[in-house]
Each structure stands twice: as structure tokens, then as C-alpha cells.
């Protein structure tokens, strides 16, 4: 803490400075001033937190001086020192919001007590400000804080039993009764990939969350409708149990009509608060294992899920179907194989992942015989997209199998040729439109919706040159045209051609045309003069 001692009686200030152990009071510096002018300058430069000022410093008792210091140092504390009390002094104390008054001569004990009183007052003011700030934060973010509580409860991040959970709820004023039961509704999208592409993940979740608050949570406690990762979760109170399924149907119908979202709603049995985390885990597992996705509203009992499922073995004849005239028969066989397993409860998320890897092995075996590289499946943007979502449903798995079969058996070769021409067109158009800007392969790949390596490979196969080579060619052609037709400086032409490094531009230009830009311009001008003279002589 920094302090400033102001007194026209220099001897008293020196005496006070010498008798006090400043470090013991947490005071890092104690500046002094013996006149109004010095006091103002010192206060401005030192920015003290506490000022001790004698009423003898000026005719008005230091009132105008201290008022000036308060304007220079906002929040500074003021302690007045004087030889007597008067009504005028107390009036000034109140006006200046001074924290204390000491009678001179000031002893070390009186000084230390004044410092401690100031520290306590400042600490109390800080606590009041923090409390006020927290109160505003709570008012503005109450629902968000309560939603965070329910999210933590679902994710098993609130340790302890019913009493501890209820105490944690009270801290955030969340409406929870440890003796009441709750039903959980977990909501996912049957057409998740379609919705993510059309609306974006966050927007879809927010829309469902808002509609769920309007049509499912009739009690008005909107904090019990939360988003956990990619799913919406609703916690129903006991009075909402009887109408839960009907309200979920209304929500599903509204989501379908509003933004074409196909919802899957999984409802739990009634549970107490300490069972909510296990219930969320159970519903999450069940939703992942529900690859058939036949029902939109599903009541999940305690016995649902968790049983041991059979290991899935691919029929040996499937590989042979790829060599027939109708390889797409494989897709029909996959669907006929998976649907009965799902109805019997033998398909889990883990089994479905294993099935997909076995299908990949089948495709890779065929590709090896056809001298195709395995990574080509992942290079295809559409196949890779379908691969990531295939385990969400049987329909998704069949779409992925169909696309892979079509690709590796050559059924899409004519389509690929058309796609190649479109890729080349998009790349050339992007380069023409952004020639003077910095261009990266990642940006170009964003235009073609393919990965950079695959984009480069298609472009080279169709044009005989790399994307980078084509980019340099177009930039050099532009630089050549500007040198011939404009009076721009070489550095300006470099910038217009997409080069912010002047030296590099000259080096590339020389490699491409065999001369520097200046030499090229000089030669072009000479040729133009020669041609003009020739035309004049012919006339």
C-alpha cells in the first residue's frame, strides 16, 4: 500500500516517519509533501491509496487540496489530522468522505489503528462490490447456472447421495426434491446428418430445446431442458408423467413441420435424483444401439439394453457378389441380414462398429485384387462422410455400403469423369477470381469439397499440370499483360499478380520468361517502337 503524508509542519512529519516501521503495516512507500503544490504533484505521480493531511496545510483546512487529490486519485482514502475538533471539520469530513480523524501530535498506535481501520473498510467495500456484481451475474445468468447443475448431475459430476445432491441444488436455487421422482427424455435426430448439413448442429439443438420448453415442460421450469453434447435432455417432474408420451409426440410433429427434423425420443422409468446419472448413461447407450430406429417415442425400462449380444459374422458369399454383373445385390443382402438382428436385440453400437470394419476388410480385399489403393475410399469425400455416420442406423449403413460398392466396382466411372471436369472448372474459376490474393490448397479444397491431395490428383489427371503450376502460369500471364499494357511499377505489378515478396516475384518471372520484368518491359517497348516505325514507313 502507498500513503502520502501532507503537513506544513515538517518536523512532525519527520518524527512520524522515523518512529513507524512501515513494512510491518504493509506500506511499501510513504511520500511526504509540505505544501499544496507539492502535495498535488506527488499525489498525481505516486497515486497513493491513503492520504494523511493536516488541517493546517491551508487556510480552508486543506479542503480544496483534498478535493483536488480525490479527483486525481479516484477511491483514495483520507485521514485528517488536527489539533482540535470543530463543527466545520466534521462537516468537511462528511463531504470528503474521509475515513478517519486523528488529533495531533499523532502517536504510532493511533496511526496504526487508522491504517487498520482503512484496510478493513476497503476490504468490506470490495466484498460489497463483489456481492453486488455476483448478484447481477446471478440475475442475468440464473437459468444458465441451473442448467449447468442439471447437466453435471446427468454426467455424474456431483458426488454424494440424495442429501448432497439436494444441497448442491439449493446453492444454485435449482428446483430439486430428493424425495421426488423424475423421468428423463433423451432426444436425438433420426436424420442427424441431413439436419447438420442444412441447419448446423448448434442451431438444431437450440431449436429443439426451445420447442421442448414450450410443449413438454408444462411446469415452466425451463432449466430442466438441457443440451448435453449432441443431444437434448428433458427432466420431467411427477405431475408431468401421465402426459409425457403425448407431449413428446407433439414435439416430434412440431419439429417435423417446423424444420423437417425427425426426432427419436427415449423415455426412462421414474427415478430418484441419485439415479439420474445412471439413467442418462442407460438412455445414451440404448439410443446408440437403436440402429433400426422404427419407433419415434420409446419407453426404456431397466431391463432394456445391457444384455450380452451375439458376435456378428459376415456371410462368406458376400465377397463374391462384388464380382457379379449386379454388385448392388450386396446392399440388399446387408439390409436383409441386419434388420432381423436389430429386431432380436443383437445389434449394439459396438457390434455395429465391428460389422463396419469387417465390411471394410471385404472391400479392401476386392480392391487389392483390382490393384486399387485402400486409401482411395477415404479420399472420396462422399464415402468418407457416409462412413462417419453409418453406425447411426441400418439405413445409414446401407447407404455407405452402396456408395463403396458403386465406387470400387467402377459403376460410377462416368459420373467420376463428370465430377473431374467440374472439379477442374471450380479450381480454375477460384484461381481467376482470387489471383491477386494468397491462395492455399486448403481454400481450393473447400471449394471442391474434396481433400487437398485428391483435388490435386484430379486436376493433374485432367489438365496435365498441378494446381500450383496452373496458379503460377496464370499469375505470370497477368504480370506479362500488365507489363505490356500499363505504366504500373514492377512492385505494383507483383502485388497485382499475387506476390507480396518483390524479390521472389522477380525470381519466378525470370525462371518463367528467361528475363527480368524490367528487361521484358524494355523489350516490349522496343518492339512496339519498331513496329510503329515500320507501319509509318509502309504508309
Q: Does residue 416 form part of some domain?
A: no
| Residue 281, in any domain of the structure | yes
Residue 242 lies in a domain: yes
Q: Point out the least confidently predicted range of 39-53, 200-214, 287-301.
A: 200-214
- Are 298 and 244 contacting, i.e. CB atoms less than 8 angstroms apart? no
Q: Which residue has the higher pLDDT, 85 or 314?
A: 314
140-164 pLDDT, tens per residue?
678 888 899 999 999 999 988 999 9
Rg of the chain, C-alpha, whole Å: 40
Residues 236 and 293 in one domain: yes
The one-character DSSP state at 466 is: -
* CA 180 from centre of chain: 37
Domain with residue 87: its CATH number is 3.40.50.2300
**Residue 312 DSSP class:** P
Q: What is the extent of the structural domain holding 16? A: 2-106
Separation of CA 364 from chain center: 37
- Which residues, other chains included, contact 161 with Cβ-Cβ below 8 Å and sequence gap of 6+? 274
Share of the chain above pLDDT 70, in %: 90
Instruction: Out of 57-61, 346-350, 403-407, pick the least confident.
Output: 57-61
Identify the CATH number of the domain in which residue 246 sits: 3.30.70.270
> Quick one: 391 and 453 in the same domain?
no
Q: CA–CA separation, 282 vs 366, rounded Å?
A: 39
Predicted local distance difference test score (pLDDT) of residue 318: 93
Q: Give the pLDDT confidence of 254-276 residue by residue, as tens digits.
A: 888 888 888 999 999 999 999 99
Number of domains in the chain: 4
For residues 233 and 164, membership in a common domain is answered with: yes
Q: Helices (H), strands (E): how many in the chain?
A: 23, 11
Is 307 inside any structural domain? no
What confidence category does residue 500 fall into, taking pLDDT thresholds of 50, 70 and 90? confident
The predicted-structure confidence for 510-530, as pLDDT tens digits, reads as follows 999 999 999 998 888 887 777
**Bridge partners (DSSP) listed for residue 32:** 5
> Does residue 137 lie within any of the structural domains?
no
Amino acid at each position: 500500500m502507498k500513503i502520502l503524508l501532507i503537513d506544513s509542519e515538517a518536523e512532525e512529519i519527520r518524527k512520524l516517519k522515523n518512529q513507524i516501521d512501515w513494512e510491518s503495516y504493509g506500506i511499501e512507500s510513504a511520500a511526504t509533501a509540505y505544501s499544496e503544490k507539492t502535495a498535488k504533484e506527488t499525489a498525481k505521480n505516486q497515486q497513493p491509496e491513503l492520504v494523511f493531511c493536516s488541517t493546517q496545510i491551508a487556510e480552508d483546512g486543506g479542503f480544496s487540496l483534498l478535493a483536488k487529490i480525490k479527483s486525481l486519485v479516484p477511491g483514495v482514502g483520507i485521514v485528517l489530522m488536527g489539533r482540535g475538533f470543530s463543527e466545520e471539520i466534521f462537516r468537511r469530513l462528511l463531504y470528503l468522505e474521509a475515513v478517519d480523524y486523528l488529533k495531533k501530535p499523532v502517536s504510532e498506535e493511533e496511526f496504526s489503528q487508522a491504517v487498520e481501520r482503512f484496510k478493513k473498510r476497503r476490504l468490506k467495500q470490495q466484498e460489497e462490490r463483489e456481492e453486488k456484481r455476483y448478484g447481477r451475474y446471478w440475475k442475468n445468468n440464473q437459468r444458465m447456472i441451473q442448467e449447468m447443475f442439471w447437466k453435471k448431475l446427468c454426467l455424474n459430476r456431483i458426488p454424494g447421495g440424495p442429501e448432497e445432491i439436494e444441497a448442491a441444488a439449493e446453492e444454485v436455487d435449482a428446483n430439486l426434491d430428493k424425495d421426488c421422482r423424475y423421468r428423463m427424455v433423451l432426444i436425438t435426430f433420426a436424420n442427424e446428418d441431413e439436419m447438420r448439413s442444412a441447419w448446423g448442429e448448434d442451431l438444431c439443438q437450440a431449436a429443439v430445446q426451445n420447442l421442448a420448453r414450450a410443449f413438454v415442460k408444462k411446469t415452466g421450469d425451463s432449466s430442466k431442458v438441457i443440451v448435453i453434447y449432441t443431444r437434448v435432455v428433458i427432466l420431467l417432474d411427477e405431475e408431468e408423467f401421465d402426459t409425457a408420451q403425448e407431449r413428446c409426440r407433439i414435439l416430434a410433429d412440431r419439429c417435423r413441420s417446423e424444420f423437417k427434423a425427425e426426432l427419436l425420443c427415449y423415455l426412462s422409468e421414474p427415478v430418484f435424483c441419485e439415479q439420474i446419472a445412471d439413467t442418462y448413461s442407460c438412455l445414451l447407450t440404448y439410443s446408440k444401439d437403436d440402429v433400426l430406429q422404427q419407433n419415434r417415442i420409446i419407453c426404456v425400462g431397466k431391463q432394456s439394453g445391457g444384455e450380452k449380444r451375439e458376435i456378428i459374422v459376415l456371410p462368406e458369399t458376400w465377397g463374391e457378389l462384388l464380382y457379379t454383373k449386379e454388385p448392388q445385390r450386396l446392399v440388399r443382402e446387408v439390409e436383409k441380414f441386419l434388420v432381423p438382428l436389430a429386431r432380436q436385440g443383437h445389434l449394439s453400437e459396438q457390434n455395429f462398429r465391428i460389422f463396419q470394419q469387417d465390411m471394410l476388410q471385404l472391400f479392401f480385399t476386392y480392391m487389392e485384387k483390382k490393384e486399387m489403393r485402400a486409401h482411395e475410399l477415404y479420399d472420396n469425400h462422399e464415402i468418407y462422410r457416409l462412413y462417419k455416420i453409418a453406425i447411426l442406423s441400418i439405413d445409414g449403413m446401407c447407404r455407405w455400403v452402396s456408395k463403396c460398392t458403386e465406387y470400387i466396382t467402377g459403376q460410377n466411372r462416368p459420373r467420376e469423369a463428370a465430377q473431374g471436369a467440374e472439379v477442374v472448372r471450380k479450381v480454375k474459376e477460384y484461381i481467376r477470381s482470387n489471383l491477386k490474393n494468397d491462395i492455399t490448397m486448403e481454400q481450393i479444397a473447400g471449394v471442391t469439397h474434396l481433400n487437398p491431395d485428391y483435388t490435386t490428383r484430379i486436376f493433374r489427371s485432367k489438365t496435365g499440370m498441378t494446381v500450383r503450376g496452373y496458379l503460377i502460369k496464370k499469375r505470370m500471364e497477368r504480370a506479362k499483360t500488365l507489363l505490356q499494357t500499363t505504366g504500373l511499377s514492377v512492385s505494383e505489378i507483383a502485388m497485382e499478380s499475387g506476390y507480396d515478396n518483390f524479390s521472389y516475384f522477380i525470381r519466378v518471372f525470370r525462371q518463367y520468361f528467361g528475363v527480368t520484368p524490367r528487361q521484358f518491359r524494355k523489350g516490349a517497348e522496343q518492339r512496339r517502337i519498331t513496329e510503329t516505325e515500320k507501319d509509318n514507313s509502309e504508309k
